[in-house]
Structure 1
């Protein structure tokens, strides 16, 4: 999670950085906003499947802390106007030290998510049929995601194990290298020459089973190699164009490794992939819509989606941390929570974004594609079933 309105970090940068209005009458989704939005906005939200392709849910890693405090996931999703989020977590923060620790954290976190979904009366969407059914019934849903293949620890058979537990979106990499690396992380020194042999093996297994591959955090060489192997289009779930940094040189130095160049974006799009635009370079919803437009201008409206890298629900602090000086409930900043992304935000997230996109000239059809249609295309292709 990063938000750069004035100064903030990803855990300190990572811890220091027309015809649609009538539909409102028949769809409860139109009442999901915090306030009453423009009727045209509400109609577009109701008519489209809005998806955030990268949204964090904090969960405990220790078995003794499972399931953790209750979270109001269904309510926050309804407020947002989104139909679904790719519900994700990463196990490499805090840093991993011991063999088996990544797998243990992953399984405990997944058990917590199982519990929270039951309490919220929700289920995971395992394929496009599930997403369509949930949207038709006006039921919020999630796609289970993980950021980083650390939990695999060199065991490719674990891909099928987690597939059977509902994982349908796998980010190969995160901030730290896995004990058995899958590829080079874009913010770390080059060590592996791009995609590793194990990384290639994991991609092939995901293709066989039906798991969407996410190449966020991968450097150019890793992305290029992965695209040669992948049997289906991939996603880069959360990034932004490196031309959107403006004149802030200190921000540019910090952020540029995490952003995508026009050339890189075109490579992914030409392979049928989709790239998610995060909120972290935008101080307002209009600026966010302009960042979306900038990427659309480079790779086309069929290859852009939403990937906020925010949190729909509140941050989790372990009991152990609460007993330490400075511990307790994590302090949340403007921009960290999905429904409070911008200071002047009056409506839930997707309502706010649709409103901003309309204001800068996007059509309802274009909004439908970017809001979720493009993600749905690659998700459907990836999850069609075991091969």
Structure 2
């Protein structure tokens, strides 16, 4: 825990002396395509901030016969959004994994598809904070490669080294379904493993050694608490919300309740130096989203909150070979599933709408820069510093 706490905002800023997390203020024309009617204050904040969505799905095929999949305008969607970077996330546990080796095969195919998307768009993976800064200075979108769920490991820790070599820098330990060699209890399932498993602890230690940021979204409280005792670097909960923000829709509340975080647990993560991403799914408008961010800031402080939408910048992939699920989804997109259409009647890109709403609820430009990307940059740097 001592190692985690030392990554305060003050230490982070001093470690990057002379190179601020916020950058040039005159880059709007290079980033925005919806320039009409954007408040100049909003434009200036968007241009200055390395703004990051810490959990964004880019749907790609993971069936070998379908790789690399359709052309995707990822760069165009990022430019419209105002985001500098996304944690570009794949998951492989839906539809259900049946045969040994399925998860690993899907993971390899999905990465090959991701390689193709990035090549098509002239976008590179950011491996550390320096890469994020370089891309932002050049007004180029970039991505942090993320995987949601350690299913592809199948008990083989050496596969994490392989994934690191392929550019993985953000690992969600768990997703909706247990891996064949479980890593910990998932918060939407009955507890089976007593929290973090021995293999899950080994994976966290390996991530800390290699330089991969650990994401504990989908982990039960017991799993998170055990993981905080193992980790020597700060962690992230990339997409959640306070459990006091369930709203009046009983069906939605029942589905969302296990996925949300208590004030006490949020404070525990903040004390360990971590950051917590606020997702859009509890908010019907940008203003409601900003109010949800304010509520979490009031609980853990301005330096421990980030953006993590759990949306998609690009269209859902429609597989001819599968019936449902990421990489093979036949179902239609939900309302609010797309990042640049997170809310009804949204007329500007995602981050422009968010910045405008955050100004409305009283955040300063500096505070917006921290929530919009600075806080995540701090923990990402803590995880990856000294690695290549």
Does TM, normalized by the shorter one, top 0.5?
A: yes
Alignment of 1:239-258 (within 5 A): 239-258=240-259
Bigger Cα displacement from structure 2, 207-216 vs 252-261 = 252-261
Equivalents in 1 of 2:223, 2:69: separation in Å? 36
CA contact (8 A) 2:27 2:47 kept: no
Aligned partner of 2:279 in structure 1 is: 278
Aligned partner of 1:31 in structure 2 is: 32
Structure 2: tracts of 5 or more residues without a match: 1-23
Aligned partner of 1:3 in structure 2 is: none
How far did 1:334 drift? 2.4
How far did 1:87 drift? 0.2
Alignment of 1:1-387 (within 5 A): 25-29=26-30, 31-33=32-34, 35-321=36-322, 330-386=331-387
CA offsets 1:134-164 (integer angstroms, 9 cap, x no match): 0000000000000000000000011100000
Specify the SS of the correspondent of 2:109: helix
Bigger Cα displacement from structure 2, 101-110 vs 247-256 = 247-256
Equivalents in 2 of 1:185, 1:47: separation in Å? 37
Equivalents in 2 of 1:347, 1:26: separation in Å? 17
In the superposition, the TM-score normalised over structure 2's length comes to 0.90
CA contact (8 A) 1:186 1:218 kept: yes
CA contact (8 A) 1:32 1:81 kept: no
Specify the SS of the correspondent of 2:219: coil
How far did 1:246 drift? 2.5
CA offsets 1:247-291 (integer angstroms, 9 cap, x no match): 333322221100000011011000000000000000000000000
CA contact (8 A) 1:150 1:179 kept: yes
**Structure 1 ranges of 4+ moved more than 6 A:** none
Equivalents in 1 of 2:314, 2:122: separation in Å? 16
Equivalents in 1 of 2:173, 2:144: separation in Å? 16
Equivalents in 1 of 2:383, 2:217: separation in Å? 17
Structure 1: tracts of 5 or more residues without a match: 1-22
CA contact (8 A) 2:316 2:329 kept: no
Aligned partner of 2:12 in structure 1 is: none
CA contact (8 A) 1:160 1:209 kept: yes
Q: When the two structures are aligned, how many residues end up with a matched partner?
A: 362
How far did 1:33 drift? 3.2
